[in-house]
Structure 1
Amino acid sequence: MTDGVEVMEGVELRPATRTDPAVVALTTAQQAELAAIYGDDQPLVTLHPDIEFIVLLVDGTPTGCVGLQPISAGLGEIKRMYVEPSSRGWGLSRLLLTSVESQALTQGLTTLRLETGTQQHQALALYTRHGYTPIPPYPPFETEPASRCFAKELD
């Protein structure tokens, strides 16, 4: 990750905790968007205290985020990856994904997994393009018909 460094004109990445106001605002917006797509019956997954976030700022405004949650030795999970709708299509999700993968390797995590939904077509395409392959649903998603889980071995 580029610790608070501008990575393209006007775009900056910075580390954050789960209680950072930018993270709270972005993840709240993400959860509202998911509720609008899937309804209120989606599983509510609480964030682990050890989760670390990367916040993406565009011209100083928090615009996206991604969380990295350690699961076990060598395994991490991508959580709450989100780019606010008016900023989509600029490659910011790719930037967040690349950054979280780099952060995972720095922490000794060699495999990343994630869950997304059947109606999130752009997310499904992004993960597939970046080498994530489908895996069986893991708890708490194993009984969720709209869940799709993926994993990637990091280089």
Structure 2
Amino acid sequence: MPVVSLESPRRDDVLTLLQQADDFALSLYPVENYHRLDIDGLEKASVGFYVARENGEALGTAAIVDRGDGSAELKRMFVTASARGLGVGRALTAAVEEHARARGVTLIQLETGLPQTAAIALYEKSGYRAIPAFGPYIDDPTSYCMEKSL
């Protein structure tokens, strides 16, 4: 089972992982449909940025963005191809949910894309349900939005 902890997104191996996430997403979507949170955004006080590691190797990331109104958005969820199916995504999801609960968040929303069926399945197994597109995703035909009450 991976160890998941809060980390800086500026560590070299994490930057490499974030680049892999960008490359993966851009292989699926046009740039205008890729809604990432950049490094500066990941360092804001309202963001908890988590890295999953096994034997020191970074296997995945997830960020939780506290909106300050009792809700948060899950962003930058990514697991390396070699670590998919090993529980890394579940561990990251659990960590961001625990982070959110500790800060009084009662609702987590997220946006993924229709081609990402494995991600959608993970979120469904974790208790998320489909919702209409929200915020910047409303006019994006590739977006698939979900939420979970905590």
Other-structure match for 1:151: 147
Is residue 119 of structure 1 aligned with residue 110 of structure 2? no
Is residue 29 of structure 1 aligned with residue 20 of structure 2? yes
Is residue 39 of structure 1 aligned with residue 39 of structure 2? no
Runs of 4+ with deviation above 4 angstroms:
none
Name the TM-score, length of structure 2 as normaliser.
0.88
Q: Percent of aligned pairs with the same residue? A: 30
CA distance in 2, matches of 1:17, 1:75: 23
Other-structure match for 2:65: 69
Give how far 1:135 is off: 1.4
Other-structure match for 1:16: 7
Give how far 1:44 is off: 4.1
Contact kept, 8 Å, 1:16 with 1:55, in 2: the verdict is yes
Is residue 94 of structure 1 aligned with residue 85 of structure 2? no
CA distance in 2, matches of 1:16, 1:57: 11
CA distance in 1, matches of 2:64, 2:14: 13
Contact kept, 8 Å, 2:64 with 2:73, in 1: the verdict is yes
Gaps of 5+ in 2: none
Structure (1/2) with the larger helix percentage: 2
CA distance in 1, matches of 2:35, 2:89: 23
CA distance in 2, matches of 1:127, 1:82: 13
- Larger CA deviation: 143-152 vs 129-138: 129-138
CA distance in 1, matches of 2:82, 2:124: 23
Gaps of 5+ in 1: 1-7
Give how far 1:40 is off: 2.7
Quick one: which amino acid aligns to residue 105 of structure 2? L
Distance of aligned partners of 1:68 and 1:23 in 2 relative to their CA distance in 1, 3 Å threshold: farther
Is residue 131 of structure 1 aligned with residue 121 of structure 2? no
Quick one: which amino acid aligns to residue 71 of structure 1? R
Give how far 1:39 is off: 2.9
Give how far 1:103 is off: 1.0
Contact kept, 8 Å, 2:48 with 2:99, in 1: the verdict is no
Contact kept, 8 Å, 2:64 with 2:75, in 1: the verdict is yes
Name the TM-score, length of structure 1 as normaliser.
0.86
